Amino acid sequence: MAVTGRGPYDPQNVFSKILRGEIPCKAIFENEWVLAFYDIMPKAPVHVLIIPKNPYVSFMDFSQTAPAEEIAGVMRAAGQIALDLGLEENGYRLITNAGLHSGQEVPHFHIHLLGGKALPAFPA
């Protein structure tokens, strides 16, 4: 079910539960800003979810309320994960959904990192 991308933050969402260790994940990267793990329903040979450790509902929330240091930390982590996974040579895609029309399903800001094959063009 799509979510609005605006608050209030629901601490019972699946990513919040993963961050608290209540739900397991196949983690591949963690630092002070993010936890990254493989998507359980991958859309590409490499499909990683990168989630900030702090509670943001969507990119709208994150971009408006996170401190600059955290925004930089999250984006640098995404780049490092792509590098660690060997995706830089052939490229990769970063996607975030925000709000109803985007199809956002989990009310916790996250970035999809996709790669490992030629990806289809964006929808028109």
> What are the tens digits of pLDDT across the range 37-56?
999 999 999 999 999 999 99
> What are the tens digits of pLDDT across the range 16-42?
999 999 999 999 999 999 999 999 999
pLDDT at 99: 87
CATH H superfamily, domain 12-113? HIT-like (3.30.428.10)
Q: Is-catalytic flag, 110? A: yes
Q: For residue 2, is pLDDT > 90? A: no
Question: For residue 76, which amino acid is it?
Answer: R
Which position among 47, 101, 108, 110 bears the catalytic label? 110
User: What does pTM read for this prediction?
Assistant: 0.94
Tokens coding 47: 């499909």
Per domain, the residue ranges of the chain are 12-113
List residues bridging with 50 in a β-sheet.
36, 111
State the alpha helices, DSSP H only, in the chain. Answer: 14-19, 59-65, 68-84
Confidence of residue 5 (pLDDT cuts 50, 70, 90): confident
